[in-house]
């Protein structure tokens, strides 16, 4: 079935994928959007309900950027550490407008993670806000980060904005090319960092064309209307939150409502209802909380609820359907692809899959030993990163070989192009010579105990090579119950974990993904304590 057929079946108009729209800089795309949709049009509603137009964004970005560029040079990376907000978006465009490269820092990653990111991207300064630091209680973290970079506070910059900065904004809002820098669209536009779920994060350099191509790919895949209102609580240090949650609505002319944290389910449900939001971006971890926090009708304005970053559980999907009559769409993305790779669509929403590839992406599968009818997914296309920036080569962009990015995910693709994620290559265990998907282990636990959180890892076993350990927040979890559920649902015994460890909480990253590095640490601590006893 082709995209056009799907569009006809669902009654939605799909815009053809046009790469020429991506052949510009990020700031030029903002200026072009203002010209197309009107300078007075509402572009952003901030967390405090402050409303900003396209004119506001362009003018503020030019003035702030002119002030921020002092002491930096074109092409230099500048750290940005702010919650999802108008301030974050204005700062992002401000840095881009004058040819500098924003490096989006994950403030939930701790001092060691931030200092590592600063060294990797060769940052000299980090832009943040005192109010944010105070509210988030990040004073100790900032004190440590200040040991390796200069901390620049937006409040101080705004107080010191000079007449020249204001003149640059005054002139630039009418003739922006006279004051801004216009780097080639194939040069870096942003540096993001991989989530580090299984190891040390890496820097990912994305070009202007990468980001704009992905916006165009999403535009051609799912119908977006001028009347839509997108609600985004996801962090802008996460590629999904930045590209789809902040840049896409601006470039497609739809209003974006920002919320500074995904961790306030009751307030988020209230604001979705009050704003009449029609599109919600989330992850399974967060959207399941919103579903439970709301009453029937609270989310009735939504026509699209799109989940990425982690597997969408059947329990979450059923809860939304039962309580709100909303069908959730699951997609798949990686930071290295700017990030959207595939997504289900209204009228072509196949449960258990992440939908079809975006236009312009080519894929190939490499066989993986012990996993039949699937393969390791490699992708190529206009949205694929310029390359990694690694800790041992700070500031150096290492491009993917021949343009192909190895996602590290094992998938299957059916005859109609729907992709099913089997798990990450590193998320399979070899038990007694047989391959076990740790994702399947987690799925079994979630199906049996849907109100709890679960994480499965593999640990060394002297007899069978590896054994599977389930870490769960269910204090009453028993292996006997898992064995019974597995037998009744045709799940092989090998997918039943050998050990179960109950904990108070499963550690997660700022994006909502399970932090498997910390989970493994919890298991090691438990094992060391038992050995010592």
3-state secondary structure of 172: helix
Tell me the C-alpha distance between 25 and 133, whole Å. 31
- Assess if residue 280 is contained within a domain: no
Tell me the C-alpha distance between 367 and 377, whole Å. 9
- Assess if residue 506 is contained within a domain: yes
Tell me the C-alpha distance between 144 and 146, whole Å. 5
Percent of the chain scoring above 90 in pLDDT:
55
How far, in Å, are 5, 81, 100, 168, 475 from residue 524 at the CA level?
52, 32, 43, 57, 19
- Assess if residue 67 is contained within a domain: no
Give the pLDDT confidence score for residue 17 in this predicted structure: 67
**Angle made by CA atoms 40, 43, 48, in degrees to the nearest 5:** 115
- Give the pLDDT confidence of 287-345 residue by residue, as tens digits: 888 988 888 888 989 999 998 878 888 888 888 888 888 889 999 999 999 999 999 99
- Give the pLDDT confidence of 49-104 residue by residue, as tens digits: 999 999 999 999 999 999 999 989 999 999 999 999 999 999 999 999 999 999 99
Q: What is the 3-state secondary structure (H, E, C) of 416-429?
A: CCCEEEEEEHHHEE
Tell me the C-alpha distance between 407 and 397, whole Å. 18
Gyration radius of the chain over CA positions? 23
342 contacts 363 by C-beta, under 8 angstroms = no
- Assess if residue 466 is contained within a domain: yes
Tell me the C-alpha distance between 410 and 151, whole Å. 41
Tell me the C-alpha distance between 17 and 20, whole Å. 9
Q: Sorting pLDDT into bands at 50, 70 and 90, what band is 130? A: very high
Q: Please choose, from the candidates 346, 55, 46, the residue with its C-alpha nearest in 3D space to the C-alpha of residue 225.
A: 346
Q: Please choose, from the candidates 271, 243, 280, the residue with its C-alpha nearest in 3D space to the C-alpha of residue 89.
A: 243
Q: Is pLDDT of 372 > 50? A: yes
Q: What are phi and psi of 424, to 5 degrees?
A: -75, 150
Residue 49 tokens read as: 């309900």
Give the pLDDT confidence score for residue 5 in this predicted structure: 32
Q: Is pLDDT of 7 > 50? A: no
Beta-bridge partners for 430? 435
CATH number of the CATH domain containing 448: 3.30.300.30
Give the pLDDT confidence score for residue 211 in this predicted structure: 97
- Domain range spanning residue 519? 432-532
| Residue 263 CB neighbours (<10 A) | 13
Tell me the C-alpha distance between 459 and 250, whole Å. 46
- Give kind and range of the element (H or E) at residue 388: strand 387-389
Q: What is the 3-state secondary structure (H, E, C) of 233-278?
A: CCCCCCHHHHHHHHHHHHHHCCEEEECCCCCCHHHHHHHHHHHCCC
- Assess if residue 205 is contained within a domain: no
- Assess if residue 215 is contained within a domain: no
Q: Is pLDDT of 262 > 70? A: yes
Q: Is pLDDT of 416 > 70? A: yes
- Assess if residue 488 is contained within a domain: yes
Give the pLDDT confidence score for residue 227 in this predicted structure: 94
Residue with structure tokens 């009654």?
A: 11
Residue 509 tokens read as: 């990253």
- Assess if residue 299 is contained within a domain: no
Beta-bridge partners for 190? 206
Q: Sorting pLDDT into bands at 50, 70 and 90, what band is 396? A: very high
3-state secondary structure of 327: coil
How far, in Å, are 114, 140, 148, 176 from residue 144 at the CA level?
9, 6, 8, 38
- Give the pLDDT confidence of 97-108 residue by residue, as tens digits: 999 999 999 998
Structural domains in the chain (count): 1
What's the whole-number average pLDDT of the chain?
Answer: 87
390 contacts 194 by C-beta, under 8 angstroms = no
How far, in Å, are 58, 93, 105 from residue 87 at the CA level?
12, 10, 15
- Give the pLDDT confidence of 176-212 residue by residue, as tens digits: 787 778 889 999 999 999 865 555 679 999 999 999 9
Tell me the C-alpha distance between 480 and 211, whole Å. 49
Give this prediction's pTM: 0.84
């Amino acid at each position: 079935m082709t995209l056009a057929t799907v569009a006809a079946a669902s009654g939605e108009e799909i815009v053809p994928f046009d790469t020429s729209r991506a052949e510009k800089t990020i700031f030029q795309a903002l200026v072009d959007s203002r010209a197309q949709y009107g300078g007075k049009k509402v572009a952003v509603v901030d967390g405090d309900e402050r409303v900003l137009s396209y004119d506001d964004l362009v003018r503020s970005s030019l003035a702030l950027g002119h002030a921020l560029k002092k002491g930096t040079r074109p092409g230099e990376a500048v750290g940005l550490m702010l919650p999802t907000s108008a301030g974050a978006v204005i700062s992002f465009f401000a840095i881009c407008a004058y040819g500098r490269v924003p490096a989006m820092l994950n403030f939930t990653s701790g001092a060691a993670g931030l200092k590592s990111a600063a060294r990797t991207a060769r940052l000299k300064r980090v832009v943040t806000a005192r109010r944010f630091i105070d509210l988030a209680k990040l004073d100790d973290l900032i004190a440590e980060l200040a040991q390796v970079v200069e901390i620049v506070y937006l409040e101080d910059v705004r107080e010191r904005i000079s007449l020249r900065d204001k003149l640059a904004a005054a002139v630039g809002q009418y003739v922006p090319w006279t004051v801004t820098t216009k780097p080639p669209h194939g040069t870096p536009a942003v540096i993001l960092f991989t989530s580090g779920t299984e190891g040390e994060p890496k820097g990912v350099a994305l070009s202007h064309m990468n980001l704009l191509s992905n916006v165009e790919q999403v535009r051609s895949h799912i119908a977006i209307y001028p009347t839509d209102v997108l609600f985004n609580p996801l962090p802008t240090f996460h590629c999904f939150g930045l590209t789809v949650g902040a840049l896409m609505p601006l470039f497609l002319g739809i209003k974006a409502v920002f919320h500074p944290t995904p961790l306030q389910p009751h307030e988020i449900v209230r604001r979705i209802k009050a704003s009449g939001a029609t599109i919600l971006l989330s992850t399974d971890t967060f959207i399941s909380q919103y579903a439970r926090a709301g009453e029937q009708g609270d989310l009735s304005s939504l026509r699209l609820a799109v989940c990425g970053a982690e597997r969408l559980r059947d329990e979450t999907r059923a809860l939304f359907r039962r309580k709100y009559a909303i069908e959730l769409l699951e997609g798949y993305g990686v930071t290295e692809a700017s990030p959207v790779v595939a997504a289900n669509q209204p009228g072509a929403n196949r449960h258990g899959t992440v939908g079809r590839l975006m236009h312009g992406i080519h894929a190939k599968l490499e066989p993986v030993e012990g996993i039949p009818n699937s393969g390791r997914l490699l992708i190529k296309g206009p949205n694929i990163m310029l390359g990694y920036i690694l800790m041992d080569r700070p500031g150096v962009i290492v491009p993917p070989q021949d343009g192909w990015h190895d996602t590290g995910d094992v998938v299957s693709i059916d005859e109609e192009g729907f992709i099913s994620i089997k798990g990450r290559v590193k998320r399979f265990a070899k038990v007694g010579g047989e391959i076990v998907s740790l994702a399947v282990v987690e799925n079994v636990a979630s199906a049996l105990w849907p109100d709890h959180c679960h994480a499965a890892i593999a640990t060394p076993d002297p007899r069978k090579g590896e054994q599977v350990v389930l870490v769960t927040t269910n204090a009453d979890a028993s292996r006997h119950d898992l064995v019974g559920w597995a037998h009744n649902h045709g799940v092989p015994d090998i997918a039943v974990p050998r050990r179960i460890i109950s904990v108070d909480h499963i550690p997660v990253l700022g994006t909502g993904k399970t932090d498997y590095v910390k989970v493994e640490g919890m298991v090691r601590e438990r094992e060391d304590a038992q050995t010592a006893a």
